[in-house]
Structure 1
Amino acid sequence: MSSTSMRLATYDRYGPAEVLSVTTAPVPRPGPGEVLVRVRAVSVNGGELSMRAGRLRPFSGNRFPKRVGVDLVGEVVEPAGSRFAAGDLAWGVLGRRMGSAAEYVAVRADRLDHVPAGLDPVRAAALPVGTTAITALRDLAALAPGERLLVRGATGGVGHLATQLGKAMGAHVTGLAGAANLDLVTELGADEAIDYRAPGELGRFDVILDTVGTELPAYRGLLSERGRLVAIAFDLDRPVRSLSYIAAHAVRRSRWVRAFSGNPTTALLAELGRWVTSGAIRPVVDRVFPLADIAAAHRALERGGVRGKIVVELP
């Protein structure tokens, strides 16, 4: 490395996207079990927006500055005795912390895996959240071939990958999205593409993947007798009510509602890589922003209607 400092995105107060700035900090030194990665691309995730806006203040506290970025794609710089070699292109997720929107990140080796061959960093950056879809559909909901799956937010960051994964697992997939994105729902392989603003009679579903978090009682009402609803978001306008509802229905044996926070390790990233290599899952990148324009990237996701992933590139 030619420099001991790096650029990174931070904010020193809660607020709109304009509170974000690109500053400098020392390049991190890897600790035990960590490798140093030169980051090339990260995606923008909804949880980051909520935290930056102060909507998760009970969990995030008031210590500043704070960093953004939860996933990453980049080259390994210091393997530190891991299974990686210098120059390997790796992808991963930091776990339950933020800070990947930086030129260098120290990451535990068991939070990384090799990027599948043929993927450039920008396209690869749209995929690590696919681990959330795998956990939701395979591990929690145990989606079976022939079952009916409803994906709410079918063209969003997790939704566009869950739609493809559901089809690859043999389900009959219905995707809810805005009218302007219904063509993408179909391109992703869904059997039905429905405008969420005018859904009509949707029928019953064995599994619902909810990426929105609102109106959970209404969507639970669409479950079959043995149906399962997995939520990866909750209602930020009514957080206590939303989380209490999930908790009350998580213990039911039928028509249950459960939520989880993704914390993938190498094994799950490797599973994602196999789905990608097989052609069952492909990335969809909506727009690409440089790190200097990370505030614009946040605003783009906040406006909604995103097709796939917003990616921030750090060339």
Structure 2
Amino acid sequence: MKAAQIMSFGTADVLRINEVDRPVPRTGEVLVSVEASSVNGHDVIVRSGGLKMVSGRRFPIGTGLDFAGTVAATGADAAGYRVGDRVWGTVHPRKKHSVAGAAEYVVVPAYRIALAPADLSAVEAASLVVGGSTALIALRDSVRMVSGDRVLVRGAAGGVGTAAVQLAHAMGGQVTALARDRHAELLTGLGADEVLDYGSTTPDRTGPFDIIVDTVGSELNSYRSRLARGGRMVTVALSPSSMAAIAASSVHGARRIRAFSADPETRLLHEVADFVASGLLRPVVDSVYPLAGIAAAHQAFERGGVAGKQVVTVPRGSA
């Protein structure tokens, strides 16, 4: 089968499509015939060498945190799934994979997948796995948003940002989206009450906010200062500079900068699917690439300025 793999740490040019053995599911595992996978920040960081503690230094390394497709086979004790079920899920973000989601087939533990929303195509489903899960954890669990909160979503046009705007609106927030001005119509349609152009809006010209969801990772302390009394802030953009700001903010107690790394499992995927089924969350896809074009998809992600996700489609593997 074909799989996208990282052959050395570096730019998107280190990605290759290789022929590898099709994996076999063991006890408690499911083999998924992948139809689509999206590009996430985690994929880019691993490829660039920023997570060597996780990925290791032995190549090739698989790429593609998430996937959507159909169950091709199950191991013993993989209860709840049948061949042909449409599913979505992720590989484990803190483990090394020689084959990951951007491949014709992937094997994962059954607890890392769930039935995909019936009304979504594989491309649409793949675009929401990580973004929807991350946004839901950020708002509901990390900063414990409640109805009426004034919410700023920074980097609102990205994969996590577009989901966060929708979920914050669905949860009763007064939503301000910070993004490129050209995305204002899209974000208003997703539920933003106000859209600010990040190119001309400095932190001191915003707020105060009860909740700040950051997907960018820079100027964290400047934005943290725009929190109202009792406000909470979370960032999902982890880098050496953002981690330093997060650590320094601990002196501010409840108004510190929170951070987490999303690791969606079955229950969380079901919860995201419920928002989709109720019409409160919809996919936003910027562009679609074939598996052979995964390097171009990574490059588009790194350039930024897009609306939604870059999704890679995968040819159906042979039986």
How far off its partner does 1:63 sit?
1.8
More helix by share: 2
Q: Which residue in 1 is equivalent to 2:15?
A: 20
Q: Where does residue 45 of structure 2 map in the other structure?
A: 50
- Opposite residue 174 of structure 2, the aligned amino acid is H
5 Å matches for 1:144-293?
144-199=146-201, 201-234=205-238, 236=239, 239=240, 241-250=241-250, 252-293=252-293
Deviation at 1:58, TM superposition (A): 5.5
Which moved further from structure 2: 168-177 or 24-33?
Answer: 24-33
Alignment of 1:21-170 (within 5 A): 21-57=16-52, 59-80=54-75, 81-96=78-93, 97=95, 99-129=100-130, 130-170=132-172
Q: TM-score with structure 2 length normalisation?
A: 0.92
Give the number of equivalent residue pairs: 306
- Give the letter aligned to residue 50 of structure 1: I
Distance 2:126 2:311 in 1: 7
C-alpha distance in 1, partners of 2:250/2:90? 26
Q: Is the 8 A contact 2:42 2:65 kept in 1?
A: no
Partner amino acid, structure 2, of 1:221: S
The alignment partner of 1:185 has SS state of helix
Give the deviation of 1:301 after TM superposition.
Answer: 1.1
Q: In structure 1, how many angstroms separate the alpha carbons of the residues matched to 2:244 and 2:303?
A: 28
SS of match in other structure, 1:158:
helix
Report the residue type matching 2:62 in the other structure: R
Alpha-carbon distance between aligned partners in 1 of 2:277 and 2:270, rounded to the nearest angstrom: 10
3-state SS, counterpart of residue 203 of structure 1: coil
* Aligned partner of residue 159 in structure 2, secondary structure: coil
- Shift of the 18–250 alpha-carbon distance from structure 1 to 2, 3 Å rule, reads same
Q: For residues 209 and 218 of structure 1, do their structure 2 counterparts lie closer, same or farther at Cα, with a shift above 3 Å needed?
A: same
Aligned match of 1:314: 314
Provide Cα deviations, 1:132-156, integer angstroms capped at 9, x if missing partner: 1111100111101000010011010
CA contact (8 A) 1:35 1:82 kept: no
Higher mean C-alpha deviation, range 35-44 or range 74-83: 74-83
Cα distance between partner residues in 1 of 2:303 and 2:242: 23
**TM value normalised by structure 1:** 0.93
Runs of 4+ with deviation above 3 angstroms? 55-61, 250-253
Task: Say if 1:95 and 1:251 are closer, same or farther in 2 by CA, change over 3 A.
Answer: farther
Q: Percent identity, please.
A: 49
Contact 1:30 1:106 in 2 (8 A): yes
Question: What SS does the corresponding residue of 2:88 show, helix, strand or coil?
Answer: strand
Partner Cα separation in structure 2 for residue 87 and residue 61 of structure 1: 34
Amino acid at match of 2:8: R
Change (3 A) 1:162 1:263: same
Q: Secondary structure at the match of 2:254?
A: coil
Aligned-residue RMSD, C-alpha = 1.5
Q: Deviations 1:14-39 (Å, cap 9, x if unpaired)?
A: 12111111001111111221111000
CA distance in 2, matches of 1:56, 1:221: 30
1:225 is paired with a residue whose SS is: strand
1:198-223 CA distances to partner (integer Å, 9 max, x unpaired)? 11511211111111111111010111
TM-superposed CA distance for 1:253, in Å, is 3.4
In structure 2, list runs of 5 or more residues that go unmatched. none
Q: Deviations over 1:54-101 (max 9, x none)?
A: 344455442211111001101001133420111000001112145111
